[in-house]
Amino acid sequence: EEGIMMSDLSEKDVKALNDKNAKIEAILNKKADELASDDEIDSMMNKVADKIVAKVDLGDMVRQIVGVAADEEEQHQKEVTKEGNPAKPTGTAGEEMLARMNESHAALTMWGLSHFDWRGDENVLDIGCGGGANLKHMSARIKTGHLTGVDYSKVSVQESRKLNADDIEDGKMDILEGSVEKLPFEDDSFDKITTVESFYFWPDPPENLKEVYRVLKPGGTFLLIAEIYGRPDLSDAVQENIIRYHLYNPTPEVFGRIFREAGFTNVEIHIESTEGWICVEGKKE
């Protein structure tokens, strides 16, 4: 205490005072260590926070880049579709559009073709053959028969021939330029006829169905395969295209009626349960 000299204290008192000072120093050192640890923790937390922020910023940047790229690709495809003209593909844009359709329609096409019973010796016609992918799919089913594609677009005929060059060279396939309004074939020529995503572009679909019926053999089957038709869940973009390109867009009920009016019997409407695709099956007695 103040005013007390060390010489006035006993040896015992000095020891007690030293012990007290040592305890105080120990407490102070502990607190200092704790404060240092808190600073280290704060520093570490700040570094972690910086990294988290950096990663979030990077993630946002990547998402923005991907989003911009997706928007640009969507806009590009719209321009390609507009310039290429899906109703009658033309030019290099038409070629690009047909290549895209070959890929995007693959699952739809395979599902639709599953409604055929194949023998392997059939004479087959594909109306509106587009980029030729449907013909190529069916070629795998044909062993001793023959396939014919027809389209009124020169570019479609060109691209279909490129894709199926081997079959054409082997005499297994022919691809012609022509219109469904007046098919360049004799009556009762084909065992199987298909059209994939082209019916809504036909000039007079109910009337043109009679021309399809004419060239189908008795006992033959016609499959109309499409994802766009009169269904309630069509997107705004699809509905805009229906108006823009004047697409014929009947409901399944109307499909059944116009098929029967064209002469087809045993008309069946198949709707794919997940995607909602339609396959209208008509037979000729």
Q: What is the pLDDT of residue 88?
A: 86
Q: What is the pLDDT of residue 114?
A: 97
Same domain for 261 and 223: yes
| Separation between Cα atoms, residue 272 and residue 278, nearest integer Å | 6
Contacts of 208 (CB under 8 A, 6+ apart): 180, 181, 202
Q: What is the pLDDT of residue 75?
A: 60
Domain limit, last residue, from 84, 117, 150 = 84
Same domain for 214 and 181: yes
Q: What is the pLDDT of residue 46?
A: 76
Q: Do 190 and 123 contact (CB within 8 A), yes or no?
A: yes
Domain limit, last residue, from 84, 117, 140 = 84
Structure-token pair, residue 118? 């194949």
Low-confidence ranges of the chain (pLDDT < 50): 1-6
Same domain for 146 and 274: yes
Same domain for 100 and 75: no
Q: What is the pLDDT of residue 50?
A: 74
Domain limit, last residue, from 84, 111, 136 = 84
Q: What is the pLDDT of residue 227?
A: 94
Q: What is the pLDDT of residue 2?
A: 42
Q: What is the pLDDT of residue 226?
A: 97
Q: For residue 156, what are the domain limits?
A: 91-283
